[in-house]
Amino acid sequence: MDLLQSYLKAVRRYLPRGQRDDIIAELSEELRSQIEAREAELDRPLRDEEQVALIQAYGDPMVVARRYRQKGMSLSLGWELIGPELFPLYLIGLGLNLALAVGITVVILLYIHQPLNLTTLLRSALIQVVCVTVTFTILNLVRRKIPQPWYYPPAELARMMPVASWMSISGLVVWGTFILWWTAVPFFPRLLLGSAAGYLRLAPAWHRFYLPILVLLLAGIVQRAVNLARPTWTGLVPAARLVINLAALALQYPMIKSYPYVVASGGAADLAHAQQVAGAFNGIILWGLLSWLWAYFLISAVVYAWYCAPYLRRAARRLLSYARAEQGWKGIV
């Protein structure tokens, strides 16, 4: 019952600390009895797919854990931003992001021989708070509109669940639109610079990372298109996303070193104003985007590596079984 244990561990993560053992023991007994009753009805052990269907019907781990919380915390500003089901995961993600953001900011400042100051650290932390809160607010809205799907199932169960069509379609729409925009930017700089395109231009360093980013975006589109046609190819999602996020993470360093990204045009009527606007654009790109984007790619890579682990374990077991069988045949021969 490895699948059941994986599910119970996921539920345990969101339970109140003092009650975890008792609640998990109760859940384990209930689910095991359901599995045994179903096996007695069929007069055979349940297949993995049948176990997953039974567990999936029991409920998303976050929702199940919510039933045992007397009063779940949430984040509200007049209306609910993050519900009690997602709030424990929000706190975990926010804490991890803040620790990484502040730590890496300190390392970068020391590396480039810049003085440590509270303003820079607070800015980095504030960016993480805003990004994580907005992300979980969107997830909360989606969960209220589409409450049934499991968005972050345990890794052992995720490999048994076909990729939902709406996930592939929404990814194709969002990232397909972004690819069109990214492809057009070098030809129509106004798409990025707006009205400032008349006296600003993209710096030569832009071409160092333009094509690699385009390739990564296209790889994401291909993965979503394949999973739309083959939703049972569940291993493709974590494998492709892991490679894409690691490549994007590796790209962050040369992108940061490529500063500045926008420069004033030689024919600008007011060169001082053009340089000031260029500095503002460069600051937005460097501190408003690149200062936190690495954290997203790093955390995403860790998450997808975790989702890849069951596939690697299964492959290792198969190789081990094959090696043992081959040794057995050699001994017989």
| 77: in domain | no
In angstroms, the CA 129 to CA 121 distance is: 12
53 and 166 in a single domain? The answer is: no
Same domain, 309 and 203: yes
Same domain, 173 and 308: yes
Q: Which of 50, 66, 82 is the last residue of a domain?
A: 66
Q: With a cut of 70, which residues of the chain have pLDDT below it?
A: 1, 69-79, 108, 111-113, 143, 146-151, 325-333
Q: How high is the pLDDT of residue 112?
A: 62
Is 120 inside any structural domain? Answer: no
Say how many CA atoms lie within 13 Å of 56 toward its Cβ.
Answer: 19
Domain termination residue (choose one: 41, 66, 91): 66
Residue 5: both structure tokens together: 């244990």
The DSSP result for 182-204, as a single string, is: HHHTTT-THHHHGGGGGTEEE-T
Domain assignment present for residue 256? The answer is: yes
Q: What is the DSSP letter of 89?
A: H
Say if residue 167 is exposed, middle or buried (CB neighbours under 10 Å; 0-12, 13-18, 19+).
middle
Question: CA-CA distance, 163 to 286, in Å (whole number)?
Answer: 35
The answer to whether residue 133 sits within a structural domain is no
DSSP state of 164: P
- Quick check: pTM over 0.85? no
Residues 167 and 310 in one domain: yes
Q: Indicate whether 177 and 50 sit together in one domain.
A: no
- 168 and 276 assigned to the same domain: yes
Whether residues 59 and 167 share a domain: the answer is no
17, 42, 66: which is the final residue of a domain? 66
Residues 58, 173: one domain? no
- Please indicate, yes or no, if residue 82 is contained in any of the structural domains: no
Helix (H/G/I), strand (E/B), else coil: 264: strand
Residue 15, domain member (yes or no): yes
Which pLDDT value is given to residue 248?
95
Q: Which two tokens stand for residue 72?
A: 């779940």
* Spacing of C-alpha 20 from chain mean position: 27
Q: Is residue 85, in this structure, part of any structural domain at all?
A: no
Residues 61 and 171 occupy one common structural domain: no
Outline where 87-231 has alpha helix (H): 87-111, 118-145, 155-158, 165-184, 190-193, 206-229
Please list the residues that pair with 80 across neighbouring strands. 76
Domain count within the chain: 2
In whole angstroms, what is the distance from residue 327 CA to residue 306 CA? Answer: 32
The span from the CA of 19 to the CA of 4, in Å, is 19
Domain that holds residue 167: 162-333
pLDDT tens for each residue of 8-41: 988 888 787 788 888 899 899 999 998 889 889 8
Domain check: are 34 and 180 in the same one?
no
Asked if the structure places residue 184 within a domain, the reply is yes
